[in-house]
């Protein structure tokens, strides 16, 4: 049976690999192995293969190195997102599992940030908060559309010496009636 895209994307190891490509980064397996030393090399290559076969990662270059071919990978943003169709195939229990994986991943990122030698939340723009808004369905649709436009515009920024990669995660949950 073919694995669902949502299962491919939200697999714990593959999710960590995908994250190393956010922001348009291109990487080789060797570079990924240095960034993710806790992932066994065989596992890393197996998961890269899965991501390439699912068209979530694409090979942008192949370089001959000492009798072998080193592949350069990048994220395929069109395939690396979960659609409404994907979400509608998921059970309540799976949603809870995926949400727990997502929040656990956020917690691990935050912990990694806090382990830096010098932590300055204000300078680094670190924030976490929850705010409630009241929207009609149309107002909410317009609000989300504006957020998407802002994210799309920001995603065109290329890496530069004066730019720091920042992760922005959104969670939208309506109040239970």
Predicted confidence pLDDT, tens digits, the chain (177 residues): 678 888 898 888 998 899 898 877 899 999 999 999 999 999 999 999 999 999 999 999 998 888 889 999 999 988 888 888 888 888 899 889 888 888 988 888 899 889 988 999 999 989 888 999 999 999 999 999 999 999 889 988 888 899 988 888 888 888 887
**130 located within any domain:** no
- Count how many domains the chain has: 1
**57 located within any domain:** yes
Residue 83's pLDDT is: 81
The token duo for 65 is: 């190195």
**38 located within any domain:** yes
The token duo for 3 is: 């694995």
Report the C-alpha gap between 128 and 162 in whole angstroms.
Answer: 24
The Cβ-side half-sphere exposure at 35, using a 13 Å CA radius, reads 16
Type and span of the H or E element at 74: strand 68-75
**124 located within any domain:** no
**160 located within any domain:** no
Q: What are the φ and ψ backbone dihedral angles of 176, each rounded to 5 degrees? A: -70, 135
**102 located within any domain:** no
CA-to-CA separations, 118 to 35, 123, 160, 164, 166, in angstroms, rounded: 20, 11, 22, 15, 17
Report the C-alpha gap between 93 and 99 in whole angstroms.
Answer: 10
Are 6 and 87 within 8 A, CB to CB?
Answer: yes
Q: Residue 50 belongs to a domain with what CATH number?
A: 1.10.10.10
| pTM of the model as a whole | 0.72
Residue 24's pLDDT is: 79
**28 located within any domain:** yes
Residue 139's pLDDT is: 97
Report the C-alpha gap between 23 and 160 in whole angstroms.
Answer: 11
Kindly tell me the number of DSSP H helices and DSSP E strands found in the chain: 8, 3
Report the C-alpha gap between 4 and 63 in whole angstroms.
Answer: 31
The token duo for 132 is: 């409630």
Note down the domain range covering 18.
5-75
**143 located within any domain:** no
């Amino acid at each position: 049976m073919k694995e669902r895209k949502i299962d491919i994307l939200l697999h714990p190891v593959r999710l960590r690999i995908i994250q190393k490509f956010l922001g348009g980064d291109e990487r080789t397996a060797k570079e990924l192995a240095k960034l993710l030393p806790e992932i066994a090399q065989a596992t890393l290559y197996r998961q890269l293969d899965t991501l390439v076969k699912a068209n979530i990662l694409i090979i942008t270059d192949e370089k001959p190195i000492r009798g072998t071919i080193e592949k350069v990978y990048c994220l395929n943003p069109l395939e690396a997102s979960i659609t409404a169709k994907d979400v509608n195939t998921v059970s309540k229990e799976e949603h809870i599992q995926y949400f727990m994986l997502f929040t656990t991943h956020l917690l691990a990122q935050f912990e990694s940030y806090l382990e830096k030698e010098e932590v300055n939340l204000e300078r680094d723009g670190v924030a976490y908060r929850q705010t409630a808004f009241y929207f009609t369905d149309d107002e909410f649709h317009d609000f989300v559309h504006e957020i998407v436009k802002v994210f799309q515009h920001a995603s065109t920024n290329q890496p530069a010496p004066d730019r720091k990669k920042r992760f922005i995660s959104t969670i939208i949950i309506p109040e239970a009636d």
